[in-house]
Amino acid sequence: AQSVTQPDIHITVSEGASLELRCNYSYGATPYLFWYVQSPGQGLQLLLKYFSGDTLVQGIKGFEAEFKRSQSSFNLRKPSVHWSDAAEYFCAVGVVEYGNKLVFGAGTILRVKS
């Protein structure tokens, strides 16, 4: 079965420091991978997506992610975190069998300290 693992429930970084959020997936076919961000009380906003081509993808708000097939990973990175980045981040894999759907990881809560 398809699954997504985000090993870190919480991460705290200092403002201006670099960030990496980990994501590992389990999926038999070529994965379509997404990162979404959810601010408190808000909906889900798409940060970036990977479906083919260059394995380093750029997203909004200065985020990037790298797809590594050999490691079944799609880690999210940002070189310098801003206080406004504090939110919950969800990694997801798109499953095409039996209809399109997203399978989400459990999320990583990012706290930014000044």
Partner 1 sequence: DTAVSQTPKYLVTQMGNDKSIKCEQNLGHDTMYWYKQDSKKFLKIMFSYNNKELIINETVPNRFSPKSPDKAHLNLHINSLELGDSAVYFCASSHTSTGQAGGYTFGSGTRLTVV
By the criterion CB under 8 A, which residues form the site for partner 1?
A: 32, 34, 36, 38, 42-46, 49, 51-52, 88, 90, 92, 94, 96, 98-104, 106-107
Min dist. Cβ of residue 102 to partner 1 (A): 6
Q: How far is the CB of 16 from partner 1 (least distance, A)?
A: 27
Q: Which residue type does 5 have? A: T
Contact 34, 92 (CB under 8 A): yes
Nearest CB to partner 1, comparing residues 17 and 29: 29
Q: How many other CB atoms are found less than 10 A from the CB of residue 4?
A: 23
In the structure encoding, which two tokens stand for residue 75, read together? 């880690």
* Radius of gyration, alpha carbons of the chain: 14
CB of 4 to partner 1, least distance (A): 10
